Amino acid sequence: QLGYCAPPSFSRPNLTPATAAQSGTPGTSVVFDLVMENLSSVTNTYTLTAQADWATTLSTSLITMTPHLTSTLTVSVTVPIT
């Protein structure tokens, strides 16, 4: 089709819960389970990073998701001693 322009796919995933709070003893880790969903109609590969003041570990740093797929991610945060 001449002059046809396909709309862009929506590639930002949905992450729930958007915020969560837990408490822990200094020096221990608290674990958050997050559900990520690819909201687009195409397969996307996402690079995951954590930006936090406390030591944070992600269960994966790269995930490829087909359209509308959901996946559970684990985030572990170490409560500082001081």
pLDDT per residue, tens digit, the chain (82 aa), is 566 666 655 578 899 987 778 899 999 999 999 999 999 889 999 999 999 999 999 999 999 999 999 999 999 999 999 8
User: Is pTM beyond 0.75 here?
Assistant: yes
DSSP bridge partners of 53: none
- For 1-82, strand residue ranges (E) read 14-16, 29-37, 44-47, 56-58, 62-65, 70-78
